[in-house]
Amino acid sequence: MEDSSMKIVIINGSARKGNTLTAIEAFVKGALEKNEIEVIEPDRLHIAPCKGCETCQCYKGCVDSDDTNPTIDKIAAADMILFATPVYWWGMSAQLKLIIDKCYCRGLQLKNKKVGVIIVGGSPIDSIQYELICKQFDCMASYLSWDMLFQKSYYANARDELAKNVNAMKELEEIGKKL
């Protein structure tokens, strides 16, 4: 990890104010001192699903007149992207996947980014669901030459359960501090 300041964009894949947000807040607590941070909340945006029209040609931006282009502009301008998601049906949330799909419109400008992934689920972390999500991010990282700084998975079922996990909170804050 680096000592210089970075622009970090965090994509919060959860529509709830629960464990995923708690994880993000712990990370931000550590990272905020040295870095510029912006959190994108897809559930508050108006973004249509990718139609696969390929008009964007992976660099021109999206033809949809919604929040896609301003959102992807922020992601493309970032030095680091943190993807945070709860587990929904053995995968990332639809909110996060929507943003990832729409990144296609500027995909060539997302190469060589520093990336982190936080996954929070209601099953023990040895469950296949975390591995499946991590493998998706590994594929994206390989394709876009991302520097995968970390992938962290946490088990938390009750809404405030992660906040009570002192080790997880400390770990997330330390990850942020090291950036």
pLDDT at 43: 95
Q: For residue 25, give both structure tokens.
A: 């807040």
Strand partners, 65: none
pLDDT at 72: 96
CA neighbor of 120 nearest in space, from 28, 38, 13, 25: 13
Q: What is the DSSP string of 113-132?
A: -EEEEEEEESS-TTSHHHHH
pLDDT at 4: 79
Q: For residue 38, give both structure tokens.
A: 């912006």
pLDDT at 58: 86
Domain limits, the chain:
7-174
pLDDT at 124: 94
Strand partners, 85: 119
pLDDT at 34: 94
CA neighbor of 157 nearest in space, from 54, 20, 53: 20
**66 SS3 class:** coil
10-residue mean pLDDT profile of the chain (179 residues): values are 81 95 98 96 96 91 95 97 96 97 93 97 95 97 96 94 97 97
Helical spans, DSSP H, in 8-106 = 19-31, 68-77, 94-102
Cα–Cα distance, 179 to 172 (Å, whole number): 11
For residue 124, which phi and psi values (nearest 5 degrees)? -55, 150
Tell me which CATH code domain 7-174 carries: 3.40.50.360
Q: Which helix (H) or strand (E) holds 81?
A: strand 80-86
CA neighbor of 80 nearest in space, from 128, 130, 9: 9
